[in-house]
Amino acid sequence: MKAAIFEPGKRSAAFHLRIEDVPRPQVAPGYVLLRVLACGVCRTDLHILEGDLPVLHQPLIPGHQIVGEVIEGASASLPLGTRVGVSWMGGTDGDCFFCQHGMENLCDHPTFTGYSVDGGYAEYALAREDFAYPLPQELDATHVAPLLCAGIIGFRSLRVAGVKPGDRVGSSASAVPRSYRFQCSIPGDARCMSLRGAKRTVLRLSDSARLGLVTKMPDRQWRWTVQSPSHQAARW
């Protein structure tokens, strides 16, 4: 199969990946083999390829926002042809303290898709069956792929921040593409806006009422948000 391969030490200054033919992954019990339909590119991929994160697996096929079709390893829960999404968490041990207490995101022995195991920059990808999410037909592959990390983990950020319907939410999303419409992910009547770096200040406010919220923000919080270097969701 064709795949984009990363090998530390073999990259040029400008290009991180080599496009090569490599053996197709072999399906194993508990896994499904996917024909990759789309794979989103995340800034975490750049962190991996640029050495900001330690090397866990090499050579590596990056990519952790995979939309694929089950072509082998089908089961009753994931029949042949099922379209699934695979995200950053590719597996957990299931029996550590964190997994046993509803915090599998902090698992002692996690598998990270496209980081500790091969990911979706390829024609085919292997995924744990219990970490593959059937996708609704309404969401096409190309458009659902970016939701599998930016969307899911952005959503988790809102949960962690304790956002509730009716809250005002600010988002400084320097690592998130301009198309990321933060307000779309809020259910109910949460009032939201997106901020993007000190230079652009305000991104895509959907109406003047939301724009008004910006001016109502206390100055100290406004400054804090726009100067922050990372993706943040804030309550105030």
Instruction: List the interface residues with another protein, window 94-123 (CB under 8 A).
Output: 102-106, 110, 120-123
128-147 b/e (C-beta count within 10 Å ≥ 16 → b): bbebbbebeeeeebeebbbb
Quote the least distance from Cβ 77 to another protein, whole Å: 13
Residue 101 to residues 105, 109, 129, 145, Cα–Cα distance (Å): 11, 15, 22, 29
Selected from 143, 165, 206, 212, the binder of another protein by CB under 8 A is 143
Distance CA 191, CA 213 (A): 9
Binding span for another protein by CB under 8 A among 16-24, 25-33, 75-83, 205-213: 16-24
Distance CA 68, CA 86 (A): 8
Selected from 55, 155, 205, 210, the binder of another protein by CB under 8 A is 155
* Binding residues for another protein restricted to 73-92, rule: CB under 8 A: 85, 87-89
Using rule CB under 8 A, residue 217 touches another protein: no
Quote the least distance from Cβ 216 to another protein, whole Å: 18
27 or 121: CB nearest another protein: 121
Selected from 96, 175, 205, 214, the binder of another protein by CB under 8 A is 175
Selected from 10, 109, 164, 235, the binder of another protein by CB under 8 A is 235
DSSP H helical ranges for 67-202: 97-100, 141-144, 150-160, 197-200
Using rule CB under 8 A, residue 232 touches another protein: yes
* Binding residues for another protein restricted to 176-195, rule: CB under 8 A: 177-181, 184-185, 187
Tokens coding 131: 């970490």
68 or 73: CB nearest another protein: 68
Residue 96 to residues 30, 91, 104, Cα–Cα distance (Å): 19, 13, 9
* Binding residues for another protein restricted to 31-50, rule: CB under 8 A: 36-47, 49
Quote the least distance from Cβ 86 to another protein, whole Å: 9
Cβ neighbours, 10 Å, residue 89: 19
Distance CA 115, CA 149 (A): 14
Helix (H) or strand (E) holding 126: strand 124-128
